Amino acid sequence: MNPTRDIVVLCNNRLAFPAIQTLHSMGRLHTIGVPVNNEDVKAFCSLFAAKTGIGLIWFENAKLKIQLEEIIKIPNLKNIFTMTFPWKIPEDILEKRPNVFYNFHYGLLPEMRGSDPVFESIRKQKQETGISVHAVEKEIDKGKIILKKTLPLHTDLTHGMLCTNLSYLASYILPELFTLLHNNDKGTIQDESLASYYKKPTITDVTIQWENQDSKSIQALVNACNPWNKGAYTQWNGLNIRILEVSLTNTLTDRPRAPGTILEINENNGLIIQCYNNTQLRINTVYTDEGFMSGHKLLAFGIKNGEQFATL
């Protein structure tokens, strides 16, 4: 094995793929580690490893410590990068190999700690997001930040689109990161006064709250749920509907309507809904058990003007 191949990547999501490819092209990638039960990521990594000769390890949670013990014995190993890796690195492993483990957090730290900073950044209508590369320590997302890069967060970006943008950003920053690590940069301590931690989204988090969310808030939630949740949840007459794409609109109404009320539904103007604070949305695309469809096609289910969507 070429001794310059001194980097191991532990990943669990497509976010890592461009960085993996770049590390290989730089002659630095030694091994990829993937949880054994992640079939989508396994498919990419299996093909990539077969074509390149890169090492590949299927991780099991019950064997995590044993497998990491073997990895840190790799000759000339410089760094192990975790990129959406789902399991915590044992503290005694970190103590054995200090300044080796670094995490790529696909959000800005310390403001966006947690399992899905992409979702939270979009849902909370942040003006920017980015990647924070930090030292892995015993407490999740709290290590010193070695490198932080920002991206503007446009209102039309979906979760999937932002993941793609961040995945390429991770590959672009690798040369700068290697320079910092080579110079033994220890990073910057995170400001705890700015810190927020967000748990994995619950059903409530991905459900539209018509009674208190205006059109921009709903648009942000819908984008944050597309495509991984097939949209944001709502309900009509017992029918579960997920809204995948919306656009802001202004519709003149002769009298105030309750949030969630259907103002218009037809092929020409689409499906227009009243939202909180006298704002309106056009529902462009929805998903039901019957498939993906334009909003106005909910006419086939019997939905009419004046009826109302409900919060789950």
Residue 268 maps to a domain: yes
Residues 171 and 291 in one domain: no
Residues 18 and 81 in one domain: yes
pLDDT value for 256? 79
Residues 155 and 259 in one domain: no
Structural domain count of the chain:
2
Q: Out of 140, 168, 198, pick the residue that ends a domain.
A: 198
Domain range for 73 is 7-198
Residue 222 maps to a domain: yes
Q: Is residue 238 predicted with pLDDT exceeding 80? A: yes
Contacts by 284-292, CB closer than 8 A, 24 or more apart: 284/244, 284/245, 284/246, 284/247, 285/231, 285/243, 285/244, 285/245, 286/231, 286/241, 286/242, 286/243, 286/244, 287/230, 287/231, 287/241, 287/242, 287/244, 288/239, 288/240, 288/241, 288/242, 289/240, 292/244
- Residue 4's pLDDT band, with cuts at 50, 70 and 90, is confident
Residues 81 and 129 in one domain: yes
Three-class SS string for the chain? Answer: CCCCCCEEEEECCHHHHHHHHHHHHCCCEEEEEEECCCHHHHHHHHHHHHHHCCEEEEECHHHHHHHHHHHCCCCCCCEEEEECCCCCCCHHHHHHCCCCEEEEECCCCCCCEECCHHHHHHHCCCCEEEEEEEECCCCCCCCCEEEEEEEECCCCCCHHHHHHHHHHHHHHCHHHHHHHHHCCCCCECCCHHHCCEECCCCCCCCECCCCCCCHHHHHHHHHHCCCCCCCEEEEECCEEEEEEEEEEECCCCCCCCCCCEEEEEECCCEEEEEEHHHEEEEEEEEEECCEEEEHHHHHHHCCCCCCECECC
Residues 104 and 176 in one domain: yes
Q: Out of 198, 231, 251, pick the residue that ends a domain.
A: 198
pLDDT value for 255? 75
> Which CATH number fits the domain that encloses residue 29?
3.40.50.170
Residues 263 and 181 in one domain: no
Residue 102 maps to a domain: yes
* 246 close to 184: Cβ distance less than 8 angstroms: no
Q: Out of 198, 223, 242, pick the residue that ends a domain.
A: 198
Residue 2 maps to a domain: no
Residues 174 and 234 in one domain: no
- Residue 290's pLDDT band, with cuts at 50, 70 and 90, is very high
Residues 17 and 117 in one domain: yes
Residues 162 and 36 in one domain: yes
Q: Is residue 1 predicted with pLDDT exceeding 70? A: no
Q: Is residue 72 predicted with pLDDT exceeding 80? A: yes
Q: What is the mean pLDDT of residues 261-278?
A: 94
Q: What is the mean pLDDT of residues 84-109?
A: 96
The pLDDT > 90 percentage for the chain reads: 95
pLDDT value for 252? 65
- Residue 312's pLDDT band, with cuts at 50, 70 and 90, is confident
Nearest Cα neighbor of 6 from 219, 208, 181 is: 181
pLDDT tens-digit readout, 100-159 = 999 999 999 999 999 999 999 999 999 999 999 999 999 999 999 999 999 999 999 999
Residue 179 maps to a domain: yes
Q: What average pLDDT is seen over the chain?
A: 95
pLDDT tens-digit readout, 184-225 = 999 999 999 999 999 999 999 999 999 999 999 999 999 999
Residue 19 maps to a domain: yes
The pLDDT > 70 percentage for the chain reads: 98
Residue 210 maps to a domain: no
Residues 160 and 255 in one domain: no
Q: Is residue 3 predicted with pLDDT exceeding 60? A: no
Q: What is the mean pLDDT of residues 1-22?
A: 90
Q: What is the mean pLDDT of residues 282-298?
A: 97
pLDDT value for 2? 45
> Which CATH number fits the domain that encloses residue 229?
3.10.25.10
Residue 278 maps to a domain: yes
Q: What is the mean pLDDT of residues 33-51?
A: 94
Residues 106 and 184 in one domain: yes
Residues 64 and 145 in one domain: yes
Q: How is residue 259 written in tokens?
A: 């949030």
